[in-house]
Amino acid sequence: MIYKARKSWGAWFGLIFGVVVYGFAIWGIGYSLDESDKTLKILLYIPTYLLLVVQVYLILGAFNLKYQVNDDHFILIWGFAKKHIAWEEFNEVIEIKGHGNFFPFLAITWPGYIVGLFQLKGVGPVRMYGTHAKDGFLYLKTQRGFLGITPENESLAEVIAERTGQDIKVIDMDAMPVEEKGEDMHEDRYFRLYYKLNVFLLAGYVLYVAIFYPGSDAPNFIILLLVLAIALFLFNIGNAKRLYQFSTQGGYMTLLLGIAVTGIFLILSISQISL
């Protein structure tokens, strides 16, 4: 029997985001750099296309995310990949309730989609394959890894428990002491402030270019700086979230660095200072 993940627009969000961001990045690099800058163009194209391949793989996983149960195995279906786990390989079946405090390692999240390796503070490591998980998910401890899934049909937990002979344990994250659960960066007012400043500053930069250069007559260096600002924003946001779990100050400084650099790029563009 096949169980779908919770309904989500995450796959479509990732597709639209990828088309807009990577489409602009590829166009912007080609527009802003000519043949005399061929080496720099290649150096910028290589990571762009590599990340585009990763984005496509993630989107395929979002569009094809299912959980299957048969007589012998639990099967996780993600994109073209299938992970088979025999019933005797299950150690624990845990239902996580409440607002979990996730910290990413090798992971990606966007609205309606969460995948990759996280540390769930107060619980342990988990490799997520789901959609909406902030308010609860099914945590499967197996001999082949610790998995987090978000089935639309909550009866899947009972089916797995019955097949494995395990009892369903419940962990309420909202009832967990903050000393165990850790500080949630999404509830940290400074982190949220610096994050929003990064978003508003980048949005202001995009708006500036769209208003004053609505056609394709923008100076090359302005387009190049905008491409770099977008890349910096995506890189900094991910790293700030990773650093925060080890050092709140490190997370703050990473976001502040992004604000400073994007601000400098915007000032250079407004001043039309040729680099």
Tens of pLDDT, residue by residue, the chain (275 residues): 899 999 999 999 999 999 999 999 999 999 888 888 889 899 999 999 999 999 999 999 999 999 999 999 999 999 999 999 999 999 999 999 988 888 888 899 999 999 999 999 889 999 999 999 888 999 999 999 999 999 998 899 999 999 999 899 999 988 888 878 878 888 889 999 999 999 999 999 999 888 887 766 778 888 899 999 999 999 998 889 888 888 889 999 999 999 999 999 999 888 864 44
pLDDT at 215 (0 to 100): 67
Q: What b/e sequence results for 12-25 when a residue is b if at least 16 CB atoms lie within 10 Å of its CB, and e otherwise?
A: ebbbeebeebbebb
Give the contacts of 272 (CB within 8 A, at least 6 positions apart): 219, 222
Q: Which of 257, 254, 263 is nearest to 204 (CA)?
A: 263
Evaluate whether 148 touches 127 at the Cβ level (below 8 Å): yes
Q: Edge-to-edge strand order for the sheet containing 113-120?
A: 102-110, 113-120, 124-130, 145-149, 136-142, 90-97, 168-172
pLDDT at 274 (0 to 100): 47
pLDDT at 20 (0 to 100): 94
Helix axis angle, 220-244 relative to 10-32, nearest 10°? 140
What percent helix, strand, coil does the chain show, rounded to 5? 55, 25, 20
Beta strands 124-130 and 2-4, pairing class: unpaired
Q: Which of 95, 70, 68, 100 is nearest to 82 (CA)?
A: 68
| Six token digits for residue 162 | 């019955």
Residue 5 backbone dihedrals phi, psi, to 5 degrees: -75, 165
- CB neighbours (10 Å) of residue 198? 22
For the chain, helix (H) and strand (E) counts, in that order, are 7, 11
Please tell me the distance from the alpha carbon of residue 239 to that of residue 255, in angstroms, as a whole number.
9
Evaluate whether 31 touches 25 at the Cβ level (below 8 Å): no
